[in-house]
Amino acid sequence: MGAEVNAHSPEPTPQEAQATLHLALQAARERQACANQGFFDHPHRTCDIEQEIQCLSPQTGMPVSAEALIASNALPGARFDTVTSIVEYDAGDIVFLERDALSELYSSLRQRTRRIQQALVASGEDAIVVPIGVQPLVESNTWPQWIVPQPGMRRRYHLIDLATRRENPYGAINIKSPDGRKSFTDAASYMAVMMRCAGTQFHISERNVEDALEAYNTSIHIAPIMSALFGNSPFIGGIDSGRTSTRTALFLQGEPLRAGLPPPATTLYQYYEQQLARALPPFVVTDDAQRALTLLHGTMHTTSRIQVDMLAGTIRNEFRCIDAQSPFRSMQAFLLTLGATDGLRGRTLATYAESRYNLRSAVWGLSAPMCLQGRATTARAVARELVALALTTLQRNGLCGLGREFLTPLLENELEHGRTQADLLRARVNGEVERGRPWCEAVVEAMLACNAASL
């Protein structure tokens, strides 16, 4: 959701933006100095899963406000993500990377997801929770009616939106179906993306800065594979985009300077410097270096980010590359991320140029071409290798049972048959249309099925 700003914060002048950037880089140097002194060294690794879900009408499939749910505090810690129809919540408490704790985390995520659905019903809202990467039916230029009510957050999102409209080289989002007969267009901006998109994020801490940087660099390699394997957003604005992850395509078009893959880094300062150099600050901060860094870093929506807790003295990676998932698939993706990042330590990865190509290609799913160290391959082939590596790594780390329970189904289903969640959704909708049901009604029926699977 990001940090709140003053409801009357001005749009920065170019000089104020540069001054704010300078202040944020001062904080980045301070954090690097802390890292050099071992401030972020920690004996244990911890994790959490951060989930986002769409609240939709079971009759029309359109967004439904969850304001009554949030106001009821039925699920403490649940919050809006940019708009009132997308709810964000943690799987549970932060836990150690141990078998029993991870099993409990999964159980907590399932329970919390069910509680949100129950609380929506209890609040009088006729709504279903749907973990899907993109709202499938809402039309363009409709975000103002859904933006969160808090003045400070509204101002934050407004300023980011102004900045992304001004800096975007494309001018418009244009998602065309493969045959070119249908298209979705909207203003190329932050809010055009965020009001539609929901994701599942993983937070995995490391014992020191060096391990965190290695995991971060590995995340660049695996992000395209994860995006292709867990894509479940084939629909947008009432059309079939032909893609597996339309969410990824939206970010690449709507926020090309702030989203996509971040570049590799060898120091914590270099990481911050590269992130903040992507685009000018949308805020003015004059007197607090750490606040400036926190605010500006939060406006970069790359597929992974390094996060530090200056109070606890911890450092973690935030993996942000996949569409929103059901609790079971969230756990699948989490364990694959954990096993892959640990298993790939010290190994040769795709080059940064190859990873950028792979991410653009990944929106088309498991059949998409990819390239690794000059070797032509496919997302499906690389994903199969990644799952096998993760299983071996999880076994070595005492998580063999969880690995088999959650990752073996990927080998037996998606990777055996080459069909993602998006492919199955598309087939379900097309089957209903062939039987005479209108397309939008068929999509709503598919959303009801997604709701049932998530509970």
pLDDT of 384? 98
Selection from 29, 48, 9 nearest residue 157 by Cα:
9
**Does the pLDDT at position 435 exceed 80?**
yes
Q: What is the pLDDT of residues 2-24, one digit of tens each?
A: 777 888 889 999 999 999 999 99
Q: What is the pLDDT of residues 24-36, one digit of tens each?
A: 999 999 999 999 9
pLDDT of 141? 81
What CATH number does domain 14-454 carry, 3.30.590.20, 3.60.40.10, 3.40.630.190, 3.20.20.10? Answer: 3.30.590.20
Q: What is the pLDDT of residues 193-249, one digit of tens each?
A: 999 999 999 999 999 999 999 999 999 999 999 999 999 999 999 999 999 999 999
Neighbours of 366 (CB within 10 A): 25
CA torsion, points 182, 434, 447, 383, in degrees to nearest 10?
-70
pLDDT of 145? 83
Cβ(372)–Cβ(385) under 8 Å? no
Q: What is the pLDDT of residues 173-187, one digit of tens each?
A: 999 988 888 999 999
pLDDT of 426? 97
pLDDT of 319? 98
Mean pLDDT to the nearest integer, 85-91: 97
**Does the pLDDT at position 432 exceed 70?**
yes
Q: What is the pLDDT of residues 309-344, one digit of tens each?
A: 999 999 999 999 999 999 999 999 999 999 999 999
pLDDT of 331? 98
Q: Any idea what the Cα angle at residue 344 is, between residues 343 and 347, rounded to 5°?
A: 135
pLDDT of 143? 77
Cβ(52)–Cβ(297) under 8 Å? no
Side chain identity at residue 329, one-letter code: R
Mean pLDDT to the nearest integer, 420-446: 97
Instruction: Out of 70-74, 219-223, 366-370, 438-442, pick the least confident.
Output: 70-74
pLDDT of 279? 97
pLDDT of 1? 59
User: Where do the structural domains in the chain lie, given as residue ranges?
Assistant: 14-454
Q: What is the pLDDT of residues 151-166, one digit of tens each?
A: 999 999 999 999 999 9
pLDDT of 236? 97
Q: What is the pLDDT of residues 102-148, one digit of tens each?
A: 999 999 999 999 999 999 999 888 999 999 999 999 988 887 788 99
